[in-house]
Amino acid sequence: MRIAINGMGRIGRLLFRRLMREESFDLVAVNDIMDPENLAYLLKYDSLYGANPDAVFYRDGFIQTNGKKIAALRANDPSAINWRELKVDIVLECSGKFSDKAGATKHLQAGAKKVLLSTTGSPDIPLMIYGFNHHRFNEDANIISPGGCMTNCATHVLYILNSIGIESAQINILHSYTSRQELVDTAHKQFRRGRAAAESIIPVEIDLAHSLERLMPLQNKVAAVSVRVPVTNGAMADFTVQLKEQRTKNEINALFEKAARNEYKGILDYTEDPLVSADIKGNTHSCVIDGILTSVVGRQVKVIAWFDNEYGYTSRMIDWLRFWGGD
């Protein structure tokens, strides 16, 4: 399967690293407007995951590493790329700029056979969460959204709790700061996002509740906020859920522990280790339930889940590539 990546930010670069070690895929091209020498440098050195053990350099139009040559393109718009000539099967759309159907379709018009977004995307694109509804995949669909890292965490947690019956849910995602925030105070249309990310705990607006309502019958039952905290990686999802029936802490934990061992194996994990956010770096699960922190008051349940917002999420994108490729 021949793969291309459009947009070499955090997710695009991590996918590059990981695909280099996946024998089933042939990464043939990357596209980003940054200087390719700078891109090679960022592919070699990463502040979160450390230096790439393989040499990475740019030469004569290609990023070269581990004996492979990957075409380095610098197009502003997919319409200017000839994916057909490169025989690209799937474009990983990681720029965040072409996440509606019209934008993603440009990759198809340029010759790619399929497009996998790295975000939730617009409502006219199928929202398919790996491990939840990917088995309902329509083979005729050529543009898919695998959701975002928060949706991949929350969907599984709420689906399992809804087997008991949810009356309402409040979700607070404590999340590392991202490139959509600022290093120092500056102007931003969302005033709080303009504040210095490494200096404050910063609430930000998210569309998680809307995504969850698209996936399961929880209309007008879910609210969500994300609070960005001054760490560079990792997230902790705090679910406060009002159930229809009263259950004990042990019953709640048993639901998640059973799921982690069976149908959700590899997607959801369960632990009773006293984790902190640094412990989750490099974890491949969409969420890790912290059984120690589960608590129950009457019919109100609090569940805490950890996830690596980059590594866990790219793991699901790679799962989608394997699924699309028939592995």
pLDDT 10s digits, 13-67: 999 999 999 888 999 999 999 999 999 999 999 999 999 999 999 999 999 998 9
Is residue 137 over pLDDT 90? no
Confidence at residue 265, expressed as pLDDT on a 0 to 100 scale: 97
Cβ-Cβ contacts under 8 Å for 109 (sequence gap 6 or more): 78, 79
Confidence of residue 325 (pLDDT cuts 50, 70, 90): confident
| Amino acid at the residue 145 | S
Helix (H, G, I), strand (E, B) or coil at 269: strand
Q: What is the DSSP string of 162-211?
A: TTT-EEEEEEEEEEE--TTSBSS----SSGGGGSBTTTS-EEE---HHHH
User: What pTM was computed for the model?
Assistant: 0.94
How far is residue 102's CA from residue 108's CA, in Å, rounded to a whole number? 10
Answer yes or no: is pLDDT of 326 > 70. Answer: no
- Architecture in CATH of 149-309: 2-Layer Sandwich (3.30)
Q: What's at 279, amino acid-wise?
A: D
Task: Indicate where the chain has its CATH 3.40.50.720 domain(s).
Answer: 2-118
Give the pLDDT confidence of 282-294 residue by residue, as tens digits.
Answer: 999 999 999 999 9
What are 264's two structure tokens? 């959700």
- Indicate which residues carry an active-site annotation: 149
Task: Indicate the CATH number of 2-118 among 3.30.420.40, 3.40.50.720, 3.20.20.60, 3.30.70.20.
Answer: 3.40.50.720
**Per-residue pLDDT averaged across 102-111, rounded?**
96
Distance CA(220)–CA(165), nearest Å, equals 14
Q: How many angstroms separate the CA atoms of 255 and 194, rounded? A: 41
Q: Where does CATH 3.30.360.10 sit in the chain?
A: 149-309
Q: How many CB atoms lie within 10 A of CB 207?
A: 12
Non-local (6+) Cβ contacts of 216 within 8 A are: 155, 158, 159, 162
- Assign 3-class secondary structure to 127-164: ECCCCCCHHHCCCCCCEEECCCHHHHHHHHHHHHHCCC
Q: Which tokens belong to 162?
A: 């809804």
What does the alpha-carbon distance between residue 133 and residue 211 come to, in Å, rounded to a whole number?
13
